[in-house]
């Protein structure tokens, strides 16, 4: 797991926890937005920071 992916997962967990705690403490459903944003952040991190090159893109070994 790369450093940027670890940081993205940490941000994801933080945002989701803030959403859950804020919703539980205040009872305001607006904190559900934090949960949704956390899930979107995690999904985007998986797509952006994956270590496997996308299909069709040559790897360094193929360029020899």
In a domain, 29, yes or no: yes
SS3 49: coil
For the question of whether the overall pTM of this predicted structure is more than 0.85, the answer is no
In a domain, 60, yes or no: no
What whole-number distance in Å separates Cα of residue 64 and Cα of residue 59? Answer: 10
Does 64 have pLDDT greater than 60?
A: no
| pLDDT score at 30 | 93
Q: Where are the alpha helices (DSSP H) in the chain?
A: 3-26, 32-48
Question: What range defines the domain where residue 45 resides?
Answer: 3-50
pLDDT tens column, 16-29 = 999 999 999 999 99
pLDDT tens column, 33-58 = 999 999 998 888 888 877 665 666 66
| pLDDT score at 60 | 65
Number of structural domains in the chain: 1
| pLDDT score at 15 | 93
In a domain, 14, yes or no: yes
In a domain, 22, yes or no: yes
In a domain, 63, yes or no: no
């Amino acid at each position: 797991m790369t450093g940027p992916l670890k940081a993205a997962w940490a941000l994801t967990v933080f945002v989701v926890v803030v959403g859950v705690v804020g919703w539980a403490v205040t009872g305001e459903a607006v904190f559900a937005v934090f949960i949704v944003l956390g899930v979107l952040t995690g999904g985007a991190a998986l797509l952006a920071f994956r270590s496997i090159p996308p299909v069709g893109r040559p790897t360094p070994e193929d360029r020899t």
